[in-house]
Amino acid sequence: MVMPYYGYGRQDRKDEGRVPITAKLVANLITAARADRVLAMDLHAAQIQGFFDIPVDHLSATPVFFDYFMSIREQLGDLCLVSPDVGNVKVAESMANLLDADLAIINKRRLTGDTIRVGNLIGDVRNKNVLMFDDMISTGGTVVEAAKLVMDQGANDVICAATHAVLAGPAMQKLADSPISQVVVTDTIPEAGRCDQIQDKLKILSVGEMLGQAITRIHNDESISALFQRTAGAKR
């Protein structure tokens, strides 16, 4: 089963009473449907691989992002990679090393499903172009509030990059009204006319070639990890 985007991936633990672990339920359903192997991209938490009783190949879209941002590296100037939450720091740090950029971290607190409170910025973004890197944009609360914070701290420009463009609820309006100049996403979730409101900011990268290479390697019993030798790897 090839799943570029694993639905319910955020529901991976009980954070309060009477809450289901739906990511495990979906894994059980896939196993019950007699899939014998799963190919997924940028799971919200790498531990979700352990929810399956069948082999899981966890791909990362960072090679696609790396190729794109390296192609425009000169335009990005003095660059700082910013992780909008602590969960994605390792990927942001690896990308910062690959792109020869600085690193900063924002701590956040989720108040409700679509309400975020950003806290302190660890690092210096003054007079720098900021690239924020995350696994998904859901309601847009995290990246928009983080973008406002780095602009208040003296950043020149903000680019947001995420693998999965969920863009639920008020996300379009938030991104359209935000100081983010470009939103770079992949096609793990089809755009299909959903993003007209942010079309002038949107850049969609294709992960089709990477999925094709992975499928070929699986069928030929070749290494999947070889696809990620030069990149930041998957989220940990």
Q: pLDDT exceeding 90 applies to what percent of the chain?
A: 71
> Does the structure show a pLDDT above 80 at 183?
yes
> Does the structure show a pLDDT above 60 at 208?
yes
161/184 same-domain check: yes
Q: What average pLDDT does range 181-208 have in this prediction?
A: 93
DSSP-derived letter for residue 195 is T
Query: What order of strands is seen across the sheet that includes strand 56-59?
Result: 2-3, 38-41, 56-59
Q: pLDDT exceeding 70 applies to what percent of the chain?
A: 92
45/104 same-domain check: no
Q: What is the pLDDT, as a whole number, of residue 16? A: 83
* Domain finish residue from 17, 44, 59: 59
8/68 same-domain check: no
> Does the structure show a pLDDT above 90 at 89?
no
34/87 same-domain check: no
Please indicate, yes or no, if residue 127 is contained in any of the structural domains: yes
Please indicate, yes or no, if residue 234 is contained in any of the structural domains: no
Q: Tell me the residue ranges of DSSP E strands in the chain.
A: 2-3, 38-41, 56-59, 79-83, 102-112, 115-122, 129-137, 157-165, 182-186, 202-205
List Cβ<8 Å contacts ≥24 apart for 110-113: 113/139
How many angstroms separate the CA atoms of 159 and 179, rounded? 9
Q: In this predicted structure, which of 63-72, 178-187, 191-200 has the lowest mean pLDDT?
A: 191-200
Q: What is the pLDDT, as a whole number, of residue 131? A: 97
Q: What is the pLDDT, as a whole number, of residue 234? A: 54
**Of 24, 108, 128, 148, which residue is the catalytic one?**
108
Q: What average pLDDT does range 64-69 have in this prediction?
A: 95
Please indicate, yes or no, if residue 236 is contained in any of the structural domains: no
Instruction: Note the Cα 209 to chain centre separation in Å.
Output: 18
Q: What is the pLDDT, as a whole number, of residue 112? A: 56
Q: What average pLDDT does range 161-179 have in this prediction?
A: 94
52/99 same-domain check: no
Q: What average pLDDT does range 37-56 have in this prediction?
A: 94
Please indicate, yes or no, if residue 219 is contained in any of the structural domains: no
Please indicate, yes or no, if residue 217 is contained in any of the structural domains: no
Q: What is the pLDDT, as a whole number, of residue 141? A: 87
98/181 same-domain check: yes
Q: 132: which strand partners?
A: 82, 160
Please indicate, yes or no, if residue 213 is contained in any of the structural domains: no
71/51 same-domain check: no
Catalytic residue flag (residue 90): no
39/117 same-domain check: no
Please indicate, yes or no, if residue 142 is contained in any of the structural domains: yes
| Residue span of the structural domain in which 34 resides | 2-59
Please indicate, yes or no, if residue 224 is contained in any of the structural domains: no
List pLDDT tens digits, range 116-159. 566 688 899 999 999 998 889 999 988 998 999 999 999 999 99
Which tokens hold the place of 23?
Answer: 């990511």
For Cα atoms 67, 206, 190, give the angle at the middle one, nearest 5 degrees: 150
* 74 touches 99 (CB < 8 A): no
Q: What is the pLDDT, as a whole number, of residue 227? A: 82
* 223 touches 217 (CB < 8 A): yes
Q: What is the pLDDT, as a whole number, of residue 114? A: 54
Q: Tokens 């000169």 map to which residue? A: 74
> Does the structure show a pLDDT above 60 at 217?
yes
Query: What order of strands is seen across the sheet that includes strand 102-112?
Result: 115-122, 102-112, 79-83, 129-137, 157-165, 182-186, 202-205
* Mean residue pLDDT across the chain: 90
55/66 same-domain check: no
- Measured CA to CA in angstroms, residue 87 lies from 116, 119, 168, 184, 223 at distances of 15, 15, 21, 20, 27
Q: What average pLDDT does range 65-83 have in this prediction?
A: 94
195/78 same-domain check: yes
137/97 same-domain check: yes
Domains contained in the chain, number:
2
Helices of type H across 156-207: 171-177
CATH number at residue 103: 3.40.50.2020
41/128 same-domain check: no
Q: What is the pLDDT, as a whole number, of residue 86? A: 76
> Does the structure show a pLDDT above 80 at 205?
yes
Q: What is the pLDDT, as a whole number, of residue 171? A: 93
Higher pLDDT, 153 or 233: 153
